[in-house]
Amino acid sequence: MPGKIIIAGAGPTGIGAAHRLKESGYNNWIIHERHDYVGGLSASFKDSEGFTWDVGGHVLFSHYEKFDRMVDEALGSNYLEHLRESWINIFKSWVPYPFQNNLRYLPREILHECLTGLFRANLNSHRKADNFAQWALYTFGQGIYKYFMLPYNKKVWATDLEKMSKDWISERVSVIDFERVLKNVILERDDVSWGPNNKFRFPLNGGTGEIFRQIASRFKDHLHYNKDINWIDTESKKIGCCDGSSETYDVLISTIPLDQLIKRIKNKPDRIVKLAQKLTANSGLIIGIGFSRPDPSKKCWMYFPENRSPCYRVTYFSNYSPRNVPEINNNFSLMGEISYPKETQLPANKAIEKTLEGFIKTGLIAESDRDRVKSVYTIDIDYSYPVPTLDRDNALNTLHPWLESHNIYSRGRFGSWKYEIGNMDHSVMQGVEIVDRILKDKKETVISL
């Protein structure tokens, strides 16, 4: 038996690990969470006006039966099912998502430029890309790259695309079939079904965070709130928290952002410090705005590659559940997401005004709706997206084995630092699988190190 297991963080990864420990009948474990709530980046909050907000638009979809079963157990029948209604706002109109499959909505000259670019890209399909920028240009051609891939991804990542690798892409970006694109244009056909999230569930009550609140309610006695782990001694196998408490562990499952975890470890070699410094993340500002009028739109979420809006994505959050607003017949809510480089600041008051301006410029609301703003709620996220930079994997290939040699398993969105397995389902399953590895020596499948 592995002895005492401490889980650092009660986000989806920590909750996944805890659920598995409970299910396995193993008792010698606790979770330390620095906040007074569970869910991490997948938590939800109700504001003083009665609007519920997620930390950015969270869409629940799954690659794993186990995760589906956990969600079933957590929500029972208290969920709604939606068909994705996702759009791109560009050239003052709306193109259905994925952009590259629905080019017919573009102005004729732009459509021509995109098709020619794509045709030429196909002719040169032997070119090998060294980074994400090149990959996007070589795959989609000059037009789609210029009007959508480049500006949209720059907004999301707040990072130069040349500094990003292309190895994370797989199902995160819809790649392209030229014949299909042409057929869609000529036959004037919409092509909106691509991707793993074209159908999704959403909790009826309490936002996305409700899933994790419900699961965590089954192991309340193991869960310790307001425990911010601020040092780890790998020699004595001890952790210490900001409240002055300390305790020993045999195994540490950490979901703390990997660079922060390394900072907190005493006596680490310089090479480990240097590698951790190579990890790049961006920050994000979520701006929820509740309006005191209903809205007939059926849209789920929308992408904004152009700079008429500061947001890269906006969600009609009241369309996810009517209970996300105080009274659905009289209110609706929009939630905007803005990324910014981690080392910079984004003052919320300026961002709120720019977001409202963006809503007006892109036709989501009218100027007169400014008087109907009933609630404004912001969430500043220090760690939003783990950026797949060119030297990320090199760093991870040393950092994880070094940690594991000290019985520390760093998992989850920022624990593993792998965006491509950084969604809720991946994170929960990373938690489940690390427990199976620790207790039963089973091989992990979600993460490959």
Beta-ladder partners of 247: 239
Query: Does 207 interact with ligand FAD (rule: CB under 6 A)?
Result: no
Q: Which is nearer to ligand FAD, 306 or 425 (CB)?
A: 425
Which neighbouring-strand residues pair with 341?
A: 282
221 vs 371 by CB, closer to ligand FAD: 221
User: What is the widest separation between alpha-carbon atoms in the chain?
Assistant: 69
Q: Does 413 bind ligand FAD (CB under 6 A)?
A: yes
Q: What pairs with residue 232 in β-bridges?
A: 239, 265
Stretch that binds ligand FAD, among 71-79, 272-280, 413-421, 435-443 (CB under 6 A): 413-421
Residue of closest CB approach to ligand FAD: 11
| Integer Cα distance of 282 and 303 in angstroms | 18
Cα 238 to chain centroid distance, Å, stands at 31
Neighbours of 335 (CB within 10 A): 29
135 closest CA partner among 156, 121, 147 = 121
Q: How far is the CB of 380 from ligand FAD (least distance, A)?
A: 11
33 binds ligand FAD (CB under 6 A): yes
Nearest to 110 by CA among 131, 88, 126, 132: 88
Task: For 364-433, give the DSSP string.
Answer: SS-GGGGGGEEEEEEEEEEEEEEE-BTTHHHHHHHHHHHHHTTTEEE-STTTT--GGG-SHHHHHHHHHH
Is there a contact between 51 and 325 (Cβ–Cβ < 8 Å)? yes
| Segment near ligand FAD (CB under 6 A); pick from 26-34, 164-172, 177-185, 358-366 | 26-34
Long-range contacts of 234-239 (CB under 8 A, 24+ apart): 234/265, 234/266, 234/267, 234/268, 234/406, 234/408, 235/266, 235/267, 237/407, 239/6, 239/8, 239/32
Q: Strands 29-32 and 223-224: what pairing?
A: parallel
Q: Does 203 bind ligand FAD (CB under 6 A)?
A: no
Q: Judged by CB under 6 A, which stretch of 112-120, 125-133, 144-152, 225-233 contacts ligand FAD?
A: 225-233
Instruction: Establish if 10 lies at the interface with ligand FAD (CB under 6 A).
Output: yes
Cβ 173 vs Cβ 152: under 8 Å: no
- Binding to ligand FAD in span 256-295, by CB under 6 A: 256, 284
Please identify which residue in 80, 110, 150, 381 interacts with ligand FAD, judged by CB under 6 A: 381
The residue written with tokens 């991490």 in the block is 40
In sequence order, what are the residues at sequence separation of 6 or more whose Cβ sits closer than 8 angstroms to the Cβ of residue 12? 39, 40, 42, 212, 412, 424, 427, 428, 431
Closest distance to ligand FAD from the beta carbon of 58 (Å): 4
Nearer to ligand FAD, 366 or 449 (CB): 449
Minimum CB–partner distance for residue 90 and ligand FAD (Å): 21
Minimum distance from residue 45 beta carbon to ligand FAD (Å): 13
Give me the least distance between CB of 422 and ligand FAD, in Å please: 5
One-letter amino acid at 356 equals L
297 Rama class: left (phi>0) / alpha (psi -120 to 50) / beta: beta
Verify binding: residue 209, ligand FAD, rule CB under 6 A.
no
CB 265, min distance to ligand FAD, A: 12
Regarding 423 and contact with ligand FAD (CB under 6 A), the answer is yes
Q: Which amino acid is at 96?
A: P
Residues binding ligand FAD: number (CB under 6 A): 37
Exactly one of 20, 30, 42, 210 binds ligand FAD (CB under 6 A); that residue is 42
Q: How far is the CB of 384 from ligand FAD (least distance, A)?
A: 4
309 binds ligand FAD (CB under 6 A): no
Among 143, 305, 326, 412, binds ligand FAD (CB under 6 A): 412
Does 66 help bind ligand FAD (rule: CB under 6 A)? no
Does residue 14 interact with ligand FAD by CB under 6 A?
Answer: yes
Nearest distance from C-beta of residue 11 to ligand FAD, angstroms: 2
Chain residues in the site for ligand FAD (CB under 6 A): 8-14, 32-35, 40-42, 55-59, 227-229, 255-256, 284, 337, 381, 384, 412-415, 422-425, 427
